[in-house]
């Protein structure tokens, strides 16, 4: 019987990353440059997001992304990753291991990067553009006071609802409701401003 992860992998057999991974596996090592670049374009941003969430540092997340992609391409080239449809699962597993190992295995990371850095197909990955903070300020101004306060206190240093609740005489549930309402209004206002400016 298939595990949930294997079933999920099977359902993603025709996903673009699985197709690119198959092309790498099927080619002599180092000759599938286009497929490697495509795989990088698809998976590197996802690995970076994982790193941002779990490492809380954009430089560390960028390092994790590079390391995981180097490892993935190495494994595909060498044939060690024999089921290309599992490439996303492999990347997730590698991300998890990297985060766990990061503090105790700096040396291996440097070795890998040294060996593969020149070889890596560095694609120009998409990162959300920075917003005009004056527009964000204008939109914050239109929120109810509680919404503005909760969003500022949340986003200033990524404070969870229960931390804010304790400081503002609210329940964590209240904070989440206020946060959700404020975020929804803020997104619509910022999006509206961006469309108007375009």
Q: Which residues bind another protein (CB under 8 A)?
A: 8, 12, 15, 42-43, 45-47, 49-50, 52-53, 88-89, 91-92, 95-96, 126-137, 140-141, 144-146, 148-162, 164, 167-170, 176, 179-180, 183, 186-187, 190
How far apart are the C-alpha atoms of 62 and 7, rounded to whole Å? 30
Token code pair at residue 98: 């990297």
How far apart are the C-alpha atoms of 164 and 178, rounded to whole Å? 11
The distance of closest approach from Cβ of residue 75 to another protein in the complex, given in angstroms and rounded to an integer, is 16
Q: Which is nearer to another protein, 101 or 119 (CB)?
A: 101
The distance of closest approach from Cβ of residue 6 to another protein in the complex, given in angstroms and rounded to an integer, is 13
How far apart are the C-alpha atoms of 138 and 40, rounded to whole Å? 38
Q: Which is nearer to another protein, 114 or 132 (CB)?
A: 132
Name the residue with tokens 């005009």.
132
Closest CA to 19 of 49, 2, 42: 42
The distance of closest approach from Cβ of residue 188 to another protein in the complex, given in angstroms and rounded to an integer, is 11
* Cα angle 45-50-54, degrees, rounded to a multiple of 5: 145
Polymer length in residues for the chain: 198
Q: Which is nearer to another protein, 6 or 27 (CB)?
A: 6
Q: How far is CA 123 from the centre of its chain?
A: 15
The distance of closest approach from Cβ of residue 31 to another protein in the complex, given in angstroms and rounded to an integer, is 27
Q: Which is nearer to another protein, 115 or 188 (CB)?
A: 188
The distance of closest approach from Cβ of residue 118 to another protein in the complex, given in angstroms and rounded to an integer, is 27
């Amino acid at each position: 019987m298939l595990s949930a992860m294997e079933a999920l992998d099977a359902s993603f057999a025709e996903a673009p990353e699985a197709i690119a991974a198959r092309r790498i596996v099927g080619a002599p090592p180092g000759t599938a440059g286009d497929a490697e670049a495509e795989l990088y374009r698809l998976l590197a941003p996802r690995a970076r997001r994982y790193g941002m969430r779990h490492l809380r540092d954009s430089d560390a997340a960028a390092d994790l992304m590079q390391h995981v992609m180097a490892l993935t391409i190495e494994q595909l080239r060498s044939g060690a990753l024999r089921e290309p449809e599992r490439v996303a699962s492999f990347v997730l597993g590698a991300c998890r291991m990297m985060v766990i190992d990061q503090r105790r295995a700096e040396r291996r990371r440097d070795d890998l990067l040294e060996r593969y850095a020149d070889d890596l197909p560095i694609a120009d990955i998409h990162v959300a553009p920075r917003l005009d903070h004056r527009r964000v300020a204008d939109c914050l101004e239109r929120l109810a006071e509680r919404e503005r306060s909760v969003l500022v206190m949340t986003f200033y240093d990524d404070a969870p609802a229960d931390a804010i609740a304790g400081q503002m005489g609210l329940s964590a549930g209240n904070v989440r409701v206020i946060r959700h309402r404020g975020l929804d209004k803020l997104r619509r206002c910022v999006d509206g401003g961006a469309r108007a400016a375009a």
